[in-house]
Amino acid sequence: MKCKCFVLSGLLCLLFAVFATRPAQAQNFQTLYTFTGISPDGANPWNDPLLKLNGTLYGTTSVGGANGGGTVYKIDSNGTETVLYSFCSLTNCADGWLPESNVLPDWQGNLYGVALFGGDTTDTNCINNFGCGVLYKLDTKGNLTVLYTFTGGTDGNTPQGLNMDWAGNL
């Protein structure tokens, strides 16, 4: 009797699982924005963009922009792109060049990120004197501040990613 109950309950569970599940729904794919690479637009968005609750995406392109050194951009939920900053605007790209990393927000709406190259381009520890990279902050008005310039020594070079803890430490 136990065996029949076990088989019957297993069969009932199987039938419930088959008939209680909904069929998979087809997904719709929509391109929000296509990067052209023509100034001031950027090209080659490498990392996953940051999605804010209002549907706005924030990210970086590794090249393009007004100066050719990459951009920080935003794309609103309607697919309108705005370049927030174009890299390599300072002499010898002291503000950074090739920002292939994600951007991270703070509570005030500022964005933080890293660029692979730029900073001190005279440092011989760096690749072909392109600079060892920078850590930057982009404020809500579009002003970029270099927070740290990598030297290629014990601090490394060509930073490729960034994380932030709950206290706001990078």
51 strand-pairing partners: 57
Residue 114 forms beta bridges with which residues? 135
Rounded CA-CA distance 43/64 in Å is 5
The phi and psi torsions of 134 (rounded to 5 degrees) equal -140, 155
The pTM score is 0.80
Domain topology for 42-149 = Neuraminidase (2.120.10)
Interatomic CA distance for residues 120 and 82, integer angstroms: 29
Residue 97 · residue 118 · CB < 8 Å:
yes
Specify whether the CB–CB gap between 113 and 138 falls below 8 A: yes
pLDDT tens digit at each of 170 positions of the chain: 455 555 556 555 555 655 666 666 777 878 888 898 888 889 999 888 888 878 899 999 999 999 999 999 999 989 999 999 999 988 888 999 999 889 999 989 999 999 999 987 776 777 667 889 999 999 999 999 999 999 888 888 889 889 989 888 99
